[in-house]
Chain A
Amino acid sequence: MPTPNTPLWEVFIRSRNGLSHRHAGSLHAADATLALQAARDLYTRRGEGLSLWVVPSNAIIASDPADKEMMFEPTASKIYRHPTFYDIPDEVGHM
């Protein structure tokens, strides 16, 4: 249960060198140190990670769902942004 004493944190894990940290989930913790330990205990039990970030959830600036049409819909008509207009030689295989 969320309480003022244990704010929400977002957890990011880098699974391998060379990859970026990816969002894994969230947790409640009293402070940054305990948040990092809780992230280790909750999200890396099966060898998922080499590096952990925890970020206070309230530090994340999120887009407003109400702005969805303005923000994201215009891209739907711009199919030329997808790299699908090239003939790929067979020798290349999967890109």
Chain B
Amino acid sequence: MIIEAPIAPVASYALRRADDALILGHRLSEWTGKAPILEEEMALANMALDLIGQSRVLYSYAAEIEGKGHTEDDFAYLRRERDYRNILLVERPNGDFAHTMLRQFFFAAFMYPYWRAMMASKDATLGAIAAKAEKEIAYHLRHSTEWVMRLGDGTAESHRRLADALADLWAYTGELFEADADEQALIAQGILVDPETLRTLWTATVSDTLTAANLDMPQAAWMQTGGRHGQHSENLGHLLSELQYMQRMIPGAVW
């Protein structure tokens, strides 16, 4: 079975943010059993569970608005790749630990002020979701910031790996600030926060941390785009083939 994405603006919005959280959460879960040290394995798994938890409440809310009897699982397991609306940053492969931590840092440095601002949303459910997510993301930001500083200011090898990660990931940060026409309408109604208003803060956070990591802030550059319209990199298909495998093999399987 394949289900289509809902088109009501708030449902479609909830789905986009849910997809960000689910895909990044899944990426982090891929570290389980492979992390460099036990302590970080737990940290990565904790962050993965935070994000997957956020995706669940957002999917459930999208299903509720849609009103077709779909569940959170239907959205996670039964959509086609092109119906995923996550930004490309979160589907980037884990790479090495520096890649994973920098990706987390870029995402959390945006989502932390974003969820904080969303707590004042005129949509009470989104406000409540934001209030829960804000505390979790605050820790993701703190943890990833500490690691970015240490990797950049660490050994020659850790610095080189972080510099490589920065070169790879920078072009995927532009999508954090995208808002399509539907989203602009919700912003005008006070239901959503305009991501563009967070750009100054995000840039300052990133600049401060990269400076502490002995890295130069990248210049304005061409930015990747497409995730919000379902145009993904080849990486998402591979990720979904693992994520959706069980429901595809044994439709309707339950514990």
Contacts and interface: CB of A to CB of B under 8 A. Distances in A.
B37 A41 contact: no
Contact of A33 (B37, B39, B46, B146): B146
A59 B39 CA distance: 21
B17 interface: no
Contacts of A42: 38-39, 42
A38 B39 contact: yes
Interface string A12-56: 000000000000000111100110011011100100000000000
B234 to A, nearest CB: 32
Contact of A27 (B39, B46, B143): B39
A62 B43 CA distance: 30
Per DSSP, are chain B's interface residues mostly helix, strand or loop, or mixed? helix
A6 interface: yes
Interface residues of A, number: 13
Interface residues of B, number: 13
Interface in B4-42: 37-40, 42
Given A33-B146, A34-B146, A45 B46 contact: yes
A66 to B, nearest CB: 32
A38 B43 contact: yes
Given A27-B38, A28-B37, A37-B143, 11 more contacts: A6-B37, A29-B39, A30-B150, A33-B146, A34-B150, A38-B40, A38-B42, A41-B39, A41-B42, A41-B46, A42-B42
Interface of B: 37-40, 42-43, 46, 139, 142-143, 146-147, 150
The 4 closest A-B pairs by CB, nearest first: A38-B39, A41-B43, A41-B42, A42-B42
Interface of A: 6, 27-30, 33-34, 37-38, 40-42, 45
10 contacts: A27-B38, A28-B39, A34-B39, A37-B142, A37-B146, A38-B42, A38-B43, A41-B43, A42-B38, A45-B46
